[in-house]
A and B are shown apart, each in its own frame.
Chain A
Amino acid sequence: MQSLQEQRLVYEVFALHKREAFDTLYLRYVGAINRFIYYRVSNAVDVDDLTANVFWRVWEYAIKNKGKEIKNFRALLYKITRNEIANFYRAQGRIPQIVELDDPEEYSEIADAHEDIFKKQLSAQDVEYLIECVQKLPEPYREIVALRYFEELEIKEIADIIEKTLGNTNVLIHRGKKALRKIMTQSNEI
C-alpha cells in the first residue's frame, strides 16, 4: 500500500512530469534497486548502468503513459528492474553469475548490533553462509527469496512483479525455501 505522500509524488511524475518529484522517488528507491541489481549482477559498472537504465525506463514509462494510475510504484520499479536484468543477460548471452562473498568479518558487527535477540544468536558466519546458500539457489527461487525476505516485499507485490497469481507466488516462495533448506543441509553434510 502506497503512502499518500508517495501517491502524490507518483501523480506528479505520471500526470505532471515533475522532475523534482521524480528525483525524490529516485532517492527513495535507488538504494533498494541498486542493491537488488548488485545481488543479481556481479560487475559494479554494470550495476550502476542498469540502475540508471531502470530509472530512465520509469521516466519514459511515465511520459508515454501520461496520467496512468500506478497502484504500486515499488512493484513497478522492481518489475522494470527485473526486465532490465533479463535484457542485460540476454544481450550478454549468458546466465547470471553468483556474487562471491568478500570479507565475512565485515558483517559480523551488523549482525551483533541488531536489536533482535534471535539475530544476536546468529553468528556472522551463519548469516554469511545463509546468504551464500541463497545465492546458490536456482534463478527463479533466488530472485523470489530475495524479493520476499531481503527486499521485504509483500506477496501481492511479488506476484505483480513476476506476473503470477498469488497462489503461484506462494508456491514458488515455498519451493524456494525448500530448495534453500536442501542446499544448506547438503553443504553441512559436506
Chain B
Amino acid sequence: MTEQELIRQLKAAKSVYDKKFAPTQETVERIRGLLMERISRSEVAPIAVSRTGFIFGFLRYITPPQFAYGMALFVLLAGSAVFAGYARQARPGQSLYGAKIALEKTHVRFVSNPASRAQVQMELAGRRLEEAQNAVSVEQEAKVLRQFSRDVKEARSTLKQAGDPAQVQAATRELVKKATEYEEKLSETKGKKPAREVDLAAISEAEEALLEIKGELVRITIPEVGELPMKPADQNLKTDQTTEAEELQVGEVSL
C-alpha cells in the first residue's frame, strides 16, 4: 500500500470514526447541564460593555499588536498632515497661526545647507509680506511686518554661515532678487492704504531690513547682481561691488 492510498483510506475512515465515537444528544445535554451548573456556582459575573465599547474592544482583541501600532502611527501621521494643511492656511490672529509659524521654523531647521536655508528663510519672509498685505488690522499688519524684518535679518545671518563660494553666489543672487521684489511689494502696501491704516514704523523697519540685506549682499556678490534694479539710496553700495566681486573670484572674501 502506498502512502497516498493509506491517506485516502484514513480520510475515508473518518466518517466511521465520527459515527463510532460521537456522543449522543443526551450525553451532550447532560454534560452541558453539569458544566453550566458549575459555571453558575463560580459566581463570575459577565462584564457589561456598551455597543461601541464592544466594537472597539473586539477590534483591539482581534488585531495583532504590530498592526495596531502601525494603524496608530498612520492615524498620527495622517492627523499631523491634516493639521499641517489647515495650519498652512491660517492667517495672522487665527488660532492656528502660531502653529503655522512653528511648522515653518521646523521646515527651516531641516534644511542643513546654510545657503539653501537662507533662501528658504527669505521665501518665508515673502509669505509674511503677503500676510501683511492682507492683514485685517493695523496691529496685525505691524506684527507681521516685524516678523518679516526678523526673517530677512535671519536670512542674512544664515547666509553668512555658508562656506561654498558657488553656493553663496547662487543664494546671494536669489536673495537680492527677492529683496528687490519685496521692496516693490512693500511700496505697494504703503501706497494702497491711507497713512492712518498703516503702521509706518513697522514698514520703515521692514524697509531698513531689506536695505541692510541688499547692502550686505551687494558687497559680497558677483558682478551681474549689481545690474539688478536698485533704489537711489543703494547706489553708493553698488560702487563697492566691483572690487568685492573681484576679490570673491580669487577667493579672498569670506562671509
Contacts and interface: CB of A to CB of B under 8 A. Distances in A.
Interface of A: 4, 7-8, 11, 14-19, 22-23, 26-27, 30-31, 34-36, 38-39, 47-48, 51-52, 55-56, 59, 63, 67, 69, 101, 106-107, 110-111, 114, 116, 118-119, 122, 124, 126-128, 130-131, 134, 145-146, 149-150, 152, 177, 180-181, 184-185
Contacts of A177: 3, 6-7
Interface string B118-138: 000000000000000000000
B250 interface: no
A47 B13 CA distance: 22
Classify the interface of chain A: helix, strand, loop or mixed.
helix
B163 to A, nearest CB: 57
B95 interface: no
A152 B49 contact: no
Nearest to A63: B44
Contacts of A124: 16
A93 B72 CA distance: 54
Contacts of A23: 32, 36
Given A15-B47, A15-B57, A131 B17 contact: yes
B7 A127 contact: no
19 contacts: A8-B58, A16-B54, A22-B39, A23-B32, A23-B36, A31-B22, A34-B21, A34-B27, A38-B23, A47-B23, A48-B27, A101-B20, A107-B16, A114-B15, A131-B13, A131-B17, A149-B14, A181-B1, A184-B6
A150 B46 contact: no
Interface of B: 1, 3, 6-23, 27-28, 30-32, 34-36, 38-39, 42, 44-49, 54, 57-58, 61-62
B251 to A, nearest CB: 68
